Structure 1
Amino acid sequence: MQRTCTFTCKKLELYGLRENYCSTVIIGLATGMRIGELCGLKWTDIDFTEDIINIKHTL
C-alpha cells in the first residue's frame, strides 16, 4: 500500500496538487466521500483497528 500511495502522490504532484493534500484525495477517490465529508473528517472518526471511517461531520 505504501508504494502505491507514494506513486499516486507523485502523479498527483505532477498535476499541481501539493503533497499535504494527497492523502485526502486518495481517501476521497477510494471511498467515494464527498468534499464536505472529507473536509469534516477528524482523526477520531477513523478506526484503524476495524478499518472503518465514520462520517460524523460535513462542511
Structure 2
Amino acid sequence: MNYVITSTLPNQFGGRTKSLLDRTKKLVQQADMSFTIVTTNYNPVLHGGDDPSKRPND
C-alpha cells in the first residue's frame, strides 16, 4: 500500500493539491498502484461534528 500525505484536502482546490491528486491518479491508472490519501487536518464538521448520528458510516 502506498500513502499520500497532505495537510488539507479542501472541497475546492488548486495548485499544489491539484498537482498531488493528478500525480496520484496517474500512478493509479498507468502503473496500477493503489494509494490511501491521509490528511493531517481533521475537520469534525465533515464528520458530523459532535453528533454521532450525523457522522458518515465507515
**Higher relative contact order, structure no. (Cα contacts within 8 Å, ≥ 6 residues apart):** 2
TM-score normalised by structure 2 residue count: 0.34
